[in-house]
Amino acid sequence: MPIDNIYLSQQAKDQLIKLKRSTKIQHWNVLCRWAFCLSLAEPGIPPSARIPSDSSVEMSWKVFGGQYSEIYLALLKERCRLDGLGTADEVLTAQFRLHLHRGIGYLAADRRIKSISDFSRRVSINAASK
């Protein structure tokens, strides 16, 4: 398993707290899954960035992916292959981190998300437009 533990930045934690409050989704991992998939759906490679692990939020890959952890890993590997990055463990770890934080940023920046319905609409619109 190339990714054992997931550490979030303080900025991502703050953004997730806001999303938890507005959507009433109580678990970090659920919001993180949506954020990760939202970023994967974007055509561009997430810009390289140094993302600090300065929050208290940490979860294992198994907690992040749950029963679908192998599917999330397969999606990440396929995306890295399509982007021409390869699938070395360090690439997968870095790209996962970039996709996760980009997706959290996308969700947090959407001011229309004020409820679980708005959240659902947001991710559905994104899925329908692909």
Q: 70 is written with which tokens?
A: 């192998």
What pLDDT was estimated at residue 98? Answer: 98
Integer Cα distance of 16 and 5 in angstroms: 18
Closest CA to 97 of 39, 43, 41, 44: 39
125 to 3, 37, 103, 121: CA distances (angstroms): 30, 13, 15, 6
pLDDT digits (tens, 9 = 90+) for 42-83: 999 999 999 999 999 999 999 999 999 999 999 999 999 999
Amino acid at site 99:
H
What pLDDT was estimated at residue 129? Answer: 66
What pLDDT was estimated at residue 128? Answer: 64
Q: How confident is the model at residue 14 (pLDDT cuts 50, 70, 90)?
A: very high
What pLDDT was estimated at residue 19? Answer: 94
What pLDDT was estimated at residue 120? Answer: 87
Amino acid at site 112:
R
Q: Quote the mean pLDDT of the chain.
A: 93
